[in-house]
Amino acid sequence: MTFVDPEVAAEFPDLRLHERTLAARPRSAGPELRERLRVLSDRIRGPQVLALRQQSVPWAYRVFFRHIGLDPDEHRTPVEALALERLKTGGFHARTALDAAITIAVMETGVPVWALDADRVHGELGLRPAERGERLGTGEYASDVPRGRLVVADDDGPTGVLFGPLADGRGVTRATERITLLALQVAGVPDIHVEEALWTVCDILME
């Protein structure tokens, strides 16, 4: 698990950011993965999407969203965002194996998972509030981060806003050789769900 700022940990004692790094290069989603997404799409239809937020794990993230100032009916939790996108587009679609793996893991466990280029992480990753004047990324594409907004950061600064964008140059690209996976655990989410989410992504990427 990664470092959590002491003040954040005091407010959210069950908050954990789990990290796992593996050697894996980006590749396209092959026929087997596309078939797995098709089967998953068939399982997630209108009634399932409507009932999703009442399930214990998705509900736990909705509660956490409210606690950190995000309206989950406007800023969707990752699992709800994927489910609604499935309704809009008629199915789950992914160009890369990583995108497919994260979609499958999130939909099967409800746990948010995202990925960084491990070789672009400098020092220890941690979860903390953004500081005054801090920016996401560098150069012309950098953007301001509101003070106090929770970010995942390393020794060089924020790598991404929690439930928001990644800093430019920190995500997985064609040149990536090692991937760091992150999964957020909040109050009410059992350890086994987080472990399954990370294991699912790793298992698919290592196939």
Is the separation of the CB atoms in 83 and 44 below 8 Å? Answer: yes
pLDDT value of position 176: 97
- pLDDT given for residue 143 in this prediction: 83
Integer Cα distance of 118 and 77 in angstroms: 25
Q: What is the pLDDT of residue 140?
A: 65
For the chain, which residues make up each domain, given as ranges?
3-205
Q: pTM for this structure?
A: 0.93
Instruction: State residue 30's pLDDT score.
Output: 92
From first to last of its 207 residues, the chain has per-residue pLDDT tens of 689 999 999 999 999 999 999 999 999 999 999 999 999 999 888 787 778 888 999 999 999 999 999 999 999 999 999 999 999 999 999 999 999 999 999 999 999 999 999 999 999 999 999 999 888 877 666 788 889 999 999 999 999 999 999 998 899 999 999 999 999 999 999 999 999 999 999 999 998
Direct distance between the N- and C-terminal alpha carbons of the chain, in angstroms, rounded to an integer: 25
pLDDT at 114: 96
Distance CA 62, CA 60 (A): 5
Alpha-carbon span 132 to 148, nearest angstrom: 8
Q: Are 117 and 173 in contact (CB under 8 A)?
A: yes
Tell me which CATH code domain 3-205 carries: 3.50.40.10
Q: Which two tokens stand for residue 137?
A: 């990324």
- 193 within 8 A of 57, measured Cβ to Cβ: yes
Query: How does DSSP assign 90-155, residue by residue?
Result: SS---SBHHHHHHHHHHHHH---EEEEEGGG--S--EEEEPPTT-EESSGGG-EE--TT-EEEEET
